[in-house]
Amino acid sequence: MGAVAVIGAGVDGWALAGARVHDAGDDASVRRAWSSLEDDVSVVLLTEEAARVLSVELTATSWPLVVVMPP
């Protein structure tokens, strides 16, 4: 089973569910978090803002499965 990662501002609570949390509050930290994802990550949850920052990256890949959280 693959790991779940969460990227965005204010996502620390997801660690309680076992997710790998990347609390990223600005564009540069969102991109760093995305590029640091390990190969065993199967699902990435993104805040709406993180998804906006990664719009180009998300259209260029089929890995991992990405879910954008509602506001």
Residue 9, helix vs strand vs coil: coil
Angle CA 39–6–52, to nearest 5: 100
Tracing tokens 């997801």 back to the chain, one arrives at 14
Q: pTM of the prediction?
A: 0.92
Q: Which residues pair with 27 in a beta bridge?
A: none
Domains along the chain?
A: 3-68 (3.40.50.10580)
* C-alpha distances out from residue 8 to 3, 13, 33, Å: 17, 12, 9
Predicted confidence pLDDT, tens digits, the chain (71 residues): 799 999 999 999 999 999 999 999 999 999 999 999 999 999 999 999 999 999 998 888 778 899 999 98
